[in-house]
Chain A
Amino acid sequence: MNINTLTIDGARKLVESREVTAAALAEAHYAQIAERDETIGSFLTLTKERAMKQAERIDRLAEKGDPLPRLAGVPVGIKDVLMTRGERTTAGSRFLEKFVAPYDATAVEKLEAAGAVCLGKLNCDEFAMGSSNENSAFHPVRNPRDTSRVPGGSSGGSAAAVAAGFAVATLGSDTGGSIRQPAAFCGVVGLLPTYGRVSRYGLIAFASSLDHVGPLTRTVKDSATLLEVIAGRDTMDSTSANVPVGQYAKECGREVEGLRVGIPKEYFAAGLDPEIREAIEHRIDGLRKAGCEIVNVSLPHTEYAIPVYYIVATAEASANLARFDGVRYTTRSTQVKTLADMYRKSRDEGFGAEVKRRILLGTYALSAGYYDAYYLKAQQVRTLLTRDFQNAFASVDAIVTPVTPTAAFKLGEKTGDPMEMYLSDIYTVTANLVGVPGISLPCGTNREGLPLGIQILGKHFDEATVLRLAHAVEQEQQ
């Protein structure tokens, strides 16, 4: 058994056939974590008691010969922005260093109900704000493919854990690329479901009109399987849509002949690493050979996406993070005499620099006199971005783009200038602003051996086509 390349179906078969017990499978992953995570830094908390209890439950079922659930015995990790009842849930922040979640996020509950074994909670940028995982209040995460480089962010721990063989699959969250960009940097698959497809109950909110929960895996089919498990309406999240959930794993392997694939010229303009362009063009050729019709499309407002995103996301964050005030969530400064003092000093001590920067920017954009010029303006341009996609999707079934302008950068390379860091999200933020699904999957390596990613975006609630195409791209490389 090579746990570095284990898939969901592979893990489940081992457990079902009794070749390996779920408990032994979990132990093997904990052993690998013990050996190597000191270097990588992907886990913040190990939930071993919970994991072994679940593994033993699965093993008892397997022993009796009972039918096993979809994810029976599959070792998974959870980004630390999702609630896990009775376990520490920090969002990568000092503020929540001692916070113990009082309930389970719906996505976590669904994974465990399907038999998955949750090994622990994964490191991330503080409150999911960042593109390199260097904003974690605890420690950065290193890219398993080259430990001098970042794993991407904010779901850096989730991507690194899958790449390093610490978990077969993980959950992440994506507000502007936080699943797809780290997936590209670490050479794994990351799926952004449609806005409303997966419940966000129990996700610590960053920007509510942009936040998504989704999987990171080793294969496209594994992402499809996890989506089937976690998708669907949830009465605990009124933004989760009542749309039938597809049989996504079955989409993997379907012919792609006749599908129309759009190539937006704005995503291949100056600033894109030529090696990434070449790798993607190679995959587009592959799709053409498989019978797809390749169509040039235009998304003319693309260059405005980053400014829109950093207004909308920070404005929403400034409201969402107001709840961290020293009253309810573990942290309260000891240096306070008055209520106002308590708010200020608790927030000062609890929040890191990037979180403060975004709260300030968001508050500024919402403040009297600036609301129209920034927040309203950004919302209007968001409409234009949405129209771009509606127009493009009138003539194509999916859109292929890069995920990132470059491969993984070095730790410390972009921490000096926040704007430079923000621009690394240039190809991913638009999907969140528009609410469409997208996937990031590996499409080769550069001369230095670093993984490169390709992104496929689809129509609202059409994850089926996204996964079908992604699977074709993945198979073509093998």
Chain B
Amino acid sequence: MSVAENNRNSLKKERMKVTEKDVAYVADLANLELTPEESTRMVADLNSILGHIDKLNELDTSNVEPLAEVVSAFAGGEGSQRFAYAQRADVVKPGLSREVALSNAPDTDGTCFRVPKVIER
């Protein structure tokens, strides 16, 4: 069974408690490294927060459109015109210079950002 299927199945029943394993999985997705103490604390915190968030299940939303951002909710009519200017001709304009763009980088070769080796030989 895939992780997704497993998660879906577990949601059908009463919400499963978030475990250390779940936190490790999500931390991996988010590229975060947690100490064992942090991990224990996060398990408790996520369970507390998600317990509150489960309140949303009181509502039947089967026929409700999702709203990702407020602009579209008011775009019927003049709403969309308010952002018409955002579409512009594809013309090259000066941006940050290479020097400035690289100025905050921890490591560069003067023209590119430099990172540790990606492919192990």
Contact = CB atoms under 8 A, between A and B. Distances in A.
A331 B61 contact: no
Contact of B59 (A304, A344, A434): A304
A347 B28 CA distance: 12
A74 interface: no
Nearest to B97: A102
B68 interface: yes
Nearest to A364: B26
A384 interface: yes
Nearest to A355: B32
Q: B18, B55, B117 — which one has the most chain A CB atoms within 10 A of its CB?
A: B55
Interface string B77-91: 000011111101000
Nearest to A327: B113
Contacts, number: 193
A102 B103 contact: yes
B109 interface: no
A20 B2 CA distance: 71
Interface in A225-252: 233, 235, 238-239, 241-243
B36 to A, nearest CB: 13
A356 B42 contact: yes
A357 to B, nearest CB: 6
A102 B55 contact: no
A325 B31 contact: yes
A357 B42 contact: yes
Given A233-B85, A308-B56, A348-B32, A379 B117 contact: no
Contact of A347 (B25, B33, B48, B96): B33
Given A327-B115, A359-B30, A381-B59, A419 B84 contact: no
Interface residues of B, number: 67
A332 B106 CA distance: 6
Contacts of B84: 242
Interface stretch (A10-18, A333-341, A441-449): A333-341
Contacts of A99: 104
Interface in B29-61: 29-34, 38, 41-42, 45-46, 48-50, 52-57, 59, 61
B117 A376 contact: no
A209 B68 CA distance: 7
A339 B59 CA distance: 44
**A interface SS class:** helix
Contacts of A383: 64-67, 73
Interface in A49-99: 98-99
Nearest to A329: B104
Interface in B99-121: 100-101, 103-107, 113, 115-118, 120
B68 to A, nearest CB: 6
A195 B7 CA distance: 35
A327 B105 contact: yes
Interface in A192-215: 195-196, 208-209
A162 to B, nearest CB: 28
Contact of A381 (B30, B34, B56): B56
A395 interface: no
Contacts of B30: 318, 359-360, 363
5 contacts: A102-B96, A341-B116, A369-B6, A386-B67, A386-B73
Interface of A: 98-100, 102-103, 195-196, 208-209, 233, 235, 238-239, 241-243, 301, 303-304, 306-308, 310-311, 318, 322, 325-332, 336-345, 347-348, 351, 353, 356-357, 359-361, 363-364, 367-370, 373-374, 376-384, 386, 417-419, 422, 433-435, 460
Interface of B: 2-8, 11, 18, 22-23, 25-27, 29-34, 38, 41-42, 45-46, 48-50, 52-57, 59, 61, 64-71, 73-74, 81-86, 88, 96, 100-101, 103-107, 113, 115-118, 120
Closest 6 CB pairs of A and B: A369-B7, A435-B70, A379-B66, A238-B86, A368-B4, A332-B106
